[in-house]
Structure 1
């Protein structure tokens, strides 16, 4: 006969929500927390793998020239800073793979570490190749400079207005960097002057462009009076292929008239420039050598009475040397850039500057082609230094090589250096290998031209 307890157990329905002890809830929370943590770790590992793959692909693209991927060279940062960053990431990834080798995702972490190590090897190989290239040309490199630390440059000490140009509706200024430790009026004779012309495809930029500021500040450190000149930028309704040259002639005359006020010696003047600024530096020097640089000529800006503006009422100082980086040496070649990404933007800037393409205006492109003038000027032109990146996507290095051949045949004084694994704007890091090569060679050029500071 069943007991009362047994009957009660049989007739009492099972509690669908049995009461559990206080430890069960904390165990559930612990399991949920561990699951969430594992999910976050998987996401972090996946993101790390994606990042490592991207860095590795960029490195491979840089060394092999794969279209699009090789644009990583353009940042000008394949130096110690990039190598150190990749090395740190590789160490962290390797440590995580080792410590957590028994946990899920270990293979993914190993692949991440391997990708970063491969990127480090490639980056180191390119850097070593550039360093060997520099040493072979007698250039001693600054290790601190290679990191990019302290290479951004300061702004100009003064920015006076040079002229107001009604034709382009632009006010043109000069950025002036005084020789370090020497202010105007300190005595001791005027400092040699280096005029800087900024890049930007004739469309953008000013006296305080990053590359211009970096090199102007460095030149001031070397004892030079650095003066960055602006020129009329092309507008959608105003091509400035004629205006830029005549206004630069006026600006040089202004430098000659006012250099003494800023502690400079206009009798010792050189011109440097990058990209489109390099093009204008060549054009200006060759025009002067051929007798065609007249600040007050028929193309000069005039006032309401038809008189040349005050800035244009003088003569331009003689240019004693030209030192340029990745210059546009042939505007037609620049327009016809075959690069799959840059061809459109580059051609657009050339058309804005000239008013159309080479097929439409061949005579205009011929008139602003410094390579043609180099052949005519020959040994009468000042000495020219060109440093160009071998992998330049924006300004094809073929133009520089063509100019080099013309200068050689014409008996011109020149030095052309094509740096491996270097792209456009390699001097965005003023301490990059290519930039340090330009600096060392520029100082030698200036001293050889009687412009030692």
Structure 2
């Protein structure tokens, strides 16, 4: 009996500690470390907290049954608090889903915890050493298309980071072109910083869609730039460069015209605030000493009425890129006359949509599709 008490007590205390951190971080997201952990779990795996909390309650009751009442009641109470907190989060997500016309599949949220299981229809080279993957809808086209730019803090990442989501968009009539762009280990254009070269790559991918991409049924008149995190920032700043916004720029001449719309999942809007090491990578030096390069890479400095319709998506508890800055950027865009919208996912932190089944991902995909249908597709060609 003593061994059982020790084992159950150890597991119970450890589980209660984790649940307590999740709950505290979810509802107090600005607490250092704990806030990030809690909102990260509640953003990506909120449904999984429910069975974990129930297990916590069960462990606590088991300890009570083994005549360890104080510890057992403490563990059970923490589990109960975690269960209540998780239900609050799920209710908020459900309400947001209903507002967006989405019925969340809770079973999908439990089982689809990554983006695996979806292969592209076409892989092509759009620049020497740089490939892209094309996810195509059924039928001959022409298909509206979203050029997807992966994240990774400008120094890592892969075009396969949202493969299953890309397939979902294709199955709903929107082709997706997932782009590889240059990273620090790759050669850049002569005389260009990495940030400039990456924007040049994104612009070249858009130009490919409007050129060789036509052979794959892509519609050059309904092309959107989109991305997540650093990729979202690249999508916004590349769009600004193509739209001729003062201060924006590419490594070379603009190879095409601006996209029909831009979609940015939790973008970094001010690169003055990123870590010094990332500033060195993107600009070749510190932001304070390179104001022109910093401006060209920071969406906050590139707000103009000439920008196409722009949708921003962010977790309401995103501490990594600061959700308040994204909200402020959205307000600045609208004040300048740029049409678009802001979608906030409650209790979610950065990359909340990385699990394909996450409630935030289930909400965001249809919302983005509806936005592009309204703002970027040619109605007579894409009913």
* Cross-structure match for 2:105: 142
SS state at 2:87 partner: helix
Tell me whether 1:172 sits opposite 2:130 in the alignment.
Answer: yes
| Aligned counterpart in structure 1 of residue 158 of structure 2, from 189, 202, 206 | 206
Larger Rg: 1
The answer to whether the Cα contact below 8 Å between 1:201 and 1:350 also exists between their aligned partners in 2 is no
Instruction: Spell out the pairing of 1:66-105 with structure 2 (5 A cutoff).
Output: 66-72=31-37, 73-75=39-41, 76-87=43-54, 89-90=55-56, 92-93=58-59, 96-97=62-63, 101=65, 103-105=66-68
Instruction: Spell out the pairing of 1:49-60 with structure 2 (5 A cutoff).
Output: 49-60=13-24
Q: Distance in 2 between matches of 1:148 and 1:324?
A: 26
* Cross-structure match for 2:124: 160
Q: Distance in 2 between matches of 1:450 and 1:390?
A: 26
Q: Distance in 2 between matches of 1:227 and 1:316?
A: 16
**1:196-232: CA deviation from partner (whole Å, max 9, x where unpaired):** 00011111012112xx223212212212221101211
| Aligned counterpart in structure 2 of residue 216 of structure 1, from 147, 166, 182 | 166
Tell me whether 1:45 sits opposite 2:12 in the alignment.
Answer: no
* Cross-structure match for 1:289: 243
Question: How far off is 1:243 after superposition?
Answer: 0.8
Q: Distance in 2 between matches of 1:450 and 1:190?
A: 14
* Cross-structure match for 2:89: 126
* Cross-structure match for 1:113: 76
Question: How far off is 1:152 after superposition?
Answer: 2.5
| Aligned counterpart in structure 2 of residue 326 of structure 1, from 257, 266, 270 | 266
* Cross-structure match for 1:366: 295
Question: How far off is 1:441 after superposition?
Answer: 1.9
* Cross-structure match for 1:299: 252
**1:98-127: CA deviation from partner (whole Å, max 9, x where unpaired):** 6xx2x4434323322222111111121122
SS state at 2:211 partner: helix
Structure with more relative contact order (C-alpha pairs < 8 Å, separation 6 or more) = 2
The answer to whether the Cα contact below 8 Å between 1:331 and 1:368 also exists between their aligned partners in 2 is yes
Measured at CA, do residues 44 and 91 of structure 1 come closer, stay the same or move farther in structure 2, by a change above 3 Å?
A: closer
- For structure 1, the 5+ residue unaligned runs are 1-36, 165-170, 301-311, 336-345
Question: How far off is 1:448 after superposition?
Answer: 0.8
Question: How far off is 1:172 after superposition?
Answer: 1.3
The answer to whether the Cα contact below 8 Å between 2:245 and 2:302 also exists between their aligned partners in 1 is no
Give me the CA root mean square deviation.
2.9
Question: How far off is 1:135 after superposition?
Answer: 2.9
Question: How far off is 1:257 after superposition?
Answer: 1.8
The answer to whether the Cα contact below 8 Å between 2:199 and 2:251 also exists between their aligned partners in 1 is no
